[in-house]
Amino acid sequence: MSAKKQHLFIDFEFTMPERNSRARGFFPEIIEAGVVSVIDNKIQSQFSTYVVPAHFPILTERCKSFLHITQQQIDSGIPFVELVKYFEELGRNEDNLIVTWGNMDMKVLRQNCAAAGLLFPLKGKEIDLSMEYKRFFGDKNQTGLWKAVQEYGKEGTGKHHRALDDALTTYNIFKLVEKDKRYLEKPKPTTIGDRVDFSKLLNEFV
């Protein structure tokens, strides 16, 4: 039996350096993960966790204020290796489509795996929904996640920059874009000219 198509909507929050500081060797590490698994248009599972950064464990003031996150919350998180194990299990028996808003999430996950000496845990096609959205609507600039939702006349789920809320919001935009794509792909309704044979009609008036 072939695996079912599983859509994984993923959002991470990362560590950030202080402004204008050059911390030696700094690279962003995942400190919060939000994941929504969808099969047959139904949410199968939602996952949310803080993650302890291994290389730069003390959050900068800029990171804490931007993400409204505390050092205590991050210290209570799971080790990165457990997040990788979670993804291995989640994607194992399914045909996965991995959907993120922007390309940073998968870049940082790959970078964090390399730094930890771990294999990248997700197999499947990756979609940057912000680029799909940009192509679809012909926007010149990439749009922020929550701005995109508001352009649809909706509101985001929960709080912006909370990983699970952003993952759910990404899922909601995905549904809206897919619905619009289907609408545009429908054959155009026939025009009145197609329905009425004008040559016959004119002959009656001659």
Strand partners, 79: 52
Long-range contacts of 180-186 (CB under 8 A, 24+ apart): 180/136, 181/136
Specify the DSSP element, H or E, that contains 34. Answer: strand 30-39
Q: Is 13 a catalytic residue?
A: yes
Q: Which of 13, 29, 32, 94 is catalytic?
A: 13
Q: What are phi and psi of 114, to 5 degrees?
A: -60, -40
End-to-end CA distance of the chain: 67
Comparing C-alpha atoms, which of 96, 100, 95 is closest to residue 10? 100
Q: What are phi and psi of 128, to 5 degrees?
A: -95, 100
Strand partners, 78: 51
SS3 204: helix
Q: Is 94 a catalytic residue?
A: no
Please tell me the distance from the alpha carbon of residue 90 to that of residue 200, in angstroms, as a whole number.
64
Q: Which of 126, 132, 151, 161 is catalytic?
A: 161
Task: In the chain, count H helices and then E strands.
Answer: 9, 6
- Known catalytic residues? 13, 161
